Chain A
Amino acid sequence: GNSVTQMEGPVTLSEEAFLTINCTYTATGYPSLFWYVQYPGEGLQLLLKATKADDKGSNKGFEATYRKETTSFHLEKGSVQVSDSAVYFCALSQRTSGTYKYIFGTGTRLKVLA
């Protein structure tokens, strides 16, 4: 079945460091791919998305490129801030058995130190 695998955290970085959080997926066909962010005690907020191969999603300095050949959707940011500290979830959606469903990875906790 469809699945998403994320690098385990926590990831601890100093402010202004470069961030990469790896995400790979297993799916048939061409799923849509997403990154969501979750702050403590809150629901998930959509960070960025890509709906087809080679698309690049971007938002708030974060980027991720849909790589069909490596089934990956790695999240990157050139210079992290303390306010980026949160849990990041990679997800896919695909129509299976007549319904759309979103499948999430286990999340990667990011901690940015001042």
Chain B
Amino acid sequence: DTGVSQNPRHKITKRGQNVTFRCDPISEHNRLYWYRQTLGQGPEFLTYFQNEAQLEKSRLLSDRFSAERPKGSFSTLEIQRTEQGDSAMYLCASSLDTGAEAFFGQGTRLTVV
């Protein structure tokens, strides 16, 4: 297994456009997380899936954000009507049900101009 994969690595978009990111977790991992990281800060929790069920969403996840994990495999994070404040690194991570550590992808860097 090659680890957690995120696409695209970089995305530049104009304010007001919609963007979608994809995350492919490690294949046997049931848990999937999305985090956001801004410059000089630690990752901030956005949302969590166990299999296909979205079990928790952060207050950071406004109604412009939506995440899915159909069939409990890959996940997508969509941001509608992007704003400049959405510019950040979006990180995906996965872990086993009984495992303690999360494995992160390389992230998608979003720049809203």
Contacts and interface: CB of A to CB of B under 8 A. Distances in A.
Contacts of B95: 100
Interface residues of A, number: 26
Interface stretch (B13-21, B35-43, B64-72, B78-86): B35-43
Contacts of B107: 42-43
A81 interface: no
Contacts, number: 62
A51 B99 CA distance: 10
B102 interface: yes
Interface of A: 4, 32, 34, 36, 41-46, 49, 51, 89, 91, 93, 97-107
Given A44-B104, A100-B48, 6 more contacts: A41-B109, A43-B104, A46-B103, A89-B43, A102-B33, A102-B35
A89 B40 CA distance: 11
Interface string B86-113: 0000010101000011111111010000
